[in-house]
Structure 1
Amino acid sequence: MTRDEIFEFFRRLAEDDPAPQTELEYGNCYQLLVAVTLSAQATDVGVNKATAKLFACVKTPQDMLDLGEEGLREHIKTIGLFNSKAKNVMEMARLLVERFGGEVPSTREELVTLPGVGRKTANVVLNCWFGQETFAVDTHIFRVGNRTGLARGKTPDQVEAKLEKRVPAPFRLHAHHWLILHGRYVCKARTPECWRCKLADLCRYKPKTAAPRTAAAKVPVP
């Protein structure tokens, strides 16, 4: 995409949804960090169902330590990889209490030292809570970046680097939310819904997916 096309790409997304938010539910920064950690290879809907009761009693790292690993596992047993995630979340809570005074650090360098926290998770927390202009490249953003021609790369890190260079200043704070939501609901993995995409004329994906035939259209006219 050209620079002008990229600007128009995000202008349309912003016009549709001026202030997009993550679909994960949380009440504070620590709960956000836990939710994002649990969301790896899981849906936001599934994580929200599991954390609804968990976050009613766990609001701080110390609360998590008081709950204990067995109690945590009971809350998140419906989430994939819950055993390993429970171990990471408990160790994360311990380190947050011992090294950071129970507070979630505000730098990527510190965040990625926590168990279960990679660059993507750190970027989500930095963006959603601390208001930093980061690009958390998940499977949706990776797909949309490559498919549309916005930011092509063979790895998430390459796509992130392209976005860092190419996303215009007015749109940088919300860019990763727009791309995630667009990938989740319109530019889907198996069948992108090009027929209802407001970005189709800017997108490099070919061939565009046609609208599905309606049931009425399939019935032969007598």
Structure 2
Amino acid sequence: MAAVTGKPIDVHTWSTPNGWKIPIMLEECGLPYRVVPVNIGKGEQTAPDFLAISPNNKIPAIVDHDGPGGEPISIFESGAILQYLGRKTGRFYPTEERARVAVDEWLFWQVGGFGPMLGQAHHFRIYAQDKIPYAIERFTAEANRLYGVLDKRLADRDYLAGEYSIADMATLTWAKFHGKQGIEFDALPNVKRWLDRLLARPGVQRGLAAI
């Protein structure tokens, strides 16, 4: 973690693609934080204390003890947390409206499609006890389509929305596990170039190692 002062932000999370997004953002911003592990394998996401800050019983969630007006605030949903931290710090989330719209488009693309569909492909290919061909084929095909969208977007740019942003942070943690989703990078050179660039960032490396 970067050596900065201030009240640490509590990050309730676990080692999953969604769970890594917030430590990466906090590391990139140099904000102090404390990881509060929520072991989803043991069902800790249903504990009353966690539900009080994340009513959908999903990680991640944060408690910022130095929130608006100096009062604590709890936030759930990774996209909402990333936007909040971007506004709080003025980093990786532009203030100019056109630039912000571009970031929001790709952030919502990730939280609404890229993450959920890849998660389903991952689940049915790796973790489902019953291997259901229809489900495997359906979600692997959708994963391939979404990666194709991503590769096309990155054909003429280094990052999803101009400068490096919360949209990239949200997306990279899922793309990191492309192999488990049935995706090879042979036909996705732009995605590979982008992911290699992001994984080389010290803040990303520290965030991934934080959980």
TM-score by length of 2: 0.28
Structure number with bigger Rg: 1
Identify the structure with bigger relative contact order (alpha carbons < 8 Å, sequence gap 6+).
Answer: 2
TM-score by length of 1: 0.28
